[in-house]
């Protein structure tokens, strides 16, 4: 290393401050996380939602160990257990038409529902954010084109749209995820666009332009970090919608029939006349699970919205 002694000194100082910077940054992040957690914990409903969600995730992850009966990896026609057995010590939630243990099915069903929920909303977030950023930031022609596309998806009722897409693409687990993802992005893109538009008029964006920064730099360094909290709060609600959509599609018989999800359980129950056989447990287990999980997401979403959206914040 060359340079004067003075140069050396500043270099050492810079290195010292740099390591200090990392520590400082970690400290700030931890502090921020603590603050958010405290606000979140103060919201009873949000906490209840979080507990419910954690419970479901634990059940889904440990399903093979928690299930009381054989891995019901697919629906089969060979019946070993009694049909429509009442809930009892052996069959916690009773059995269904095929004599399968409803409790074990519900555990495995949680896996499918959560996977669909998270993956579909991931697709939707990525698509929605890209579309929202492009139309909001670049404006003019791209805005018109992208927003008309968004309007197209928003105007057509999304449930029939999903049905048509699944019919066209074929019934499979992956296709259901993709279809839910590509039909639910418009709301995200609208939100992102609105936020980008308001950010774009901020002085610090104009300042970055005056410095000579290009669109890529401005989007990555200024706009994305500022829209991210909004996207995050929105994601939670999207997951809830995705889980509902999956159940809905499965109930209509548009899910891969070999997949065990709460939707396919309901479909099966409906097709095997569980409703008229008064086998309420076959319907109640997946039904209540769907409602509880969606509820949990909404409660968390509401609580987060209150924290991340300063206008709603109670003082």
Binding site for other proteins (CB under 8 A): 10-11, 13-15, 17-18, 20-21, 24-25, 28, 202-204, 206-214, 217, 221-222, 225-226
Which CB sits closer to other proteins, 99 or 229? 229
Contact 81, 91 (CB under 8 A): yes
Helices (H) and strands (E) in the chain, counts: 13, 0
Whole-number minimum distance, CB 221 to other proteins, in Å?
A: 7
Which CB sits closer to other proteins, 89 or 225? 225
What are the residues facing 101 on neighbouring strands? 95
Residues 231, 203: Cα–Cα separation, whole Å: 22
Of 43, 32, 130, 119, give the one whose Cα is nearest residue 312. Answer: 43
Residues 43, 185: Cα–Cα separation, whole Å: 29
Rounded to the nearest angstrom, the gap between the alpha carbon of residue 223 and the centroid of all alpha carbons in its chain is: 22
Of 23, 52, 49, give the one whose Cα is nearest residue 306. Answer: 49
Q: Cα torsion at 53, 56, 60, 61 (round to 10°)? A: 60
Which CB sits closer to other proteins, 157 or 310? 310
Which CB sits closer to other proteins, 82 or 215? 215
Q: Is 127 left (phi over 0), alpha (psi -120 to 50) or beta?
A: alpha
Which CB sits closer to other proteins, 10 or 271? 10
Which CB sits closer to other proteins, 79 or 221? 221
């Amino acid at each position: 290393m060359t340079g004067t002694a003075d140069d050396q000194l500043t270099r050492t100082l810079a290195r010292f401050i740099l390591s200090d910077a990392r520590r400082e940054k970690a400290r700030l992040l931890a502090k921020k996380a603590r603050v958010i957690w405290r606000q979140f914990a103060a919201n009873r409903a949000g906490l209840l939602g979080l507990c419910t969600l954690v419970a479901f995730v634990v059940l889904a992850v440990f399903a093979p160990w928690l299930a009381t009966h054989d891995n019901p990896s697919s629906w089969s026609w060979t019946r070993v257990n009694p049909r429509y057995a009442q809930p009892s010590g052996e069959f916690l939630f009773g059995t269904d038409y095929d004599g399968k243990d409803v409790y074990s099915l519900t555990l495995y069903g949680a896996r499918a529902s959560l996977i669909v929920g998270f993956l579909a909303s991931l697709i939707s977030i990525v698509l929605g954010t890209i579309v929202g950023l492009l139309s909001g930031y670049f404006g003019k022609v791209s805005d018109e084109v992208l927003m008309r596309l968004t309007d197209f998806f928003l105007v057509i009722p999304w449930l029939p749209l999903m049905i048509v897409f699944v019919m066209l693409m074929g019934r499979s687990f992956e296709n259901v995820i993709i279809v839910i993802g590509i039909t639910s992005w418009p709301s995200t893109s609208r939100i992102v666009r609105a936020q980008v538009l308001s950010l774009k008029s901020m002085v610090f964006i104009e300042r970055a332009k005056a410095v000579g920064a290009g669109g890529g730099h401005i989007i990555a360094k200024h706009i994305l970090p500022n829209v991210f909290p909004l996207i995050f709060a929105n994601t939670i609600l999207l997951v809830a919608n995705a889980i509902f959509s999956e159940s809905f599609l499965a109930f209509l018989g548009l899910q891969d029939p070999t997949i065990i999800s709460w939707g396919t359980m309901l479909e099966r129950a409906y097709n095997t006349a569980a409703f008229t056989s008064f086998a309420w447990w076959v319907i109640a287990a997946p039904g209540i699970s769907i409602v509880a999980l969606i509820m949990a997401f909404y409660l968390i979403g509401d609580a987060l919205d209150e924290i991340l959206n300063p206008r709603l914040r109670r003082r």
